[in-house]
Chain A
Amino acid sequence: SAVISQKPSRDICQRGTSLTIQCQVDSQVTMMFWYRQQPGQSLTLIATANQGSEATYESGFVIDKFPISRPNLTFSTLTVSNMSPEDSSIYLCSVARGQNTDTQYFGPGTRLTVL
């Protein structure tokens, strides 16, 4: 398994501002992912955070809205830019070891409310 922490755990933000969420893992991992969990909806993959290169975004998500950094094998950030109330959601990071991405361990999530 892996011990994953996220900061902040929750935040309330104003429309039009940006928030950066941090994800820290207790050991080096190959793959890191960012998910969104909107109220009453299933987890949706936003992007795969690639170490040393640009993130790979899923359909419907773009880098300008959700810029991602991954400077090393234990850390990643997700920024939610120019926020609107529709961005209110739980944002989770997950990690996988090796290339076996079907086994993922999830962080505790960041609960974001946009007013």
Chain B
Amino acid sequence: KNQVEQSPQSLIILEGKNCTLQCNYTVSPFSNLRWYKQDTGRGPVSLTIMTFSENTKSNGRYTATLDADTKQSSLHITASQLSDSASYICVVTTNSNSGYALNFGKGTSLLVTP
């Protein structure tokens, strides 16, 4: 069972609309949580990073939230644009005696249509 679960698996929205993507995780010990954007044919690019003490982080039209108690995060996209069409991947980093480990969700595939 994947320890980083994302929902929905895919999403289609109209240009200009808002949307929210979800990420639930069970991995520990928690170090940080990142949201990545992966365009087709490209590698993932980090959008936001949050540590345990942060509960919201914005990057332009992207706003990520984190509830470390319930182990949930969301990525809210405001006023979507066609260029937002991509896969959004939630990555939870754990830090143990053996070092950092990145735990990847399967991603949410977002399609923004005109």
Residues on A facing B (Cβ under 8 Å): 4, 9, 40-45, 92, 94, 100-109, 111
Contact = CB atoms under 8 A, between A and B. Distances in A.
Nearest to B105: A42
Given A102-B95, A104-B102, A92 B4 contact: no
A43 B100 contact: no
Contacts of B46: 103
B100 A92 contact: no
A42 B43 contact: no
A106 B89 CA distance: 13
Contact of A92 (B2, B43, B95, B107): B43
A26 B106 CA distance: 29
Given A101-B99, A101-B100, A108 B43 contact: yes
A94 B89 CA distance: 15
A103 B99 CA distance: 13
A108 B41 contact: yes
B104 A42 contact: yes
A112 B4 CA distance: 26
Interface residues of B, number: 20
8 contacts: A42-B89, A43-B89, A92-B43, A92-B44, A101-B100, A102-B31, A102-B32, A102-B102
Contact of A106 (B45, B99, B100): B45
B80 interface: no
Interface string B73-99: 000000000000000010001010001
Given A40-B106, A108-B42, 11 more contacts: A9-B41, A41-B106, A42-B4, A43-B89, A43-B104, A92-B44, A102-B32, A102-B102, A106-B44, A109-B42, A111-B41
B43 A109 contact: yes
Nearest to A42: B104
B106 A106 contact: no
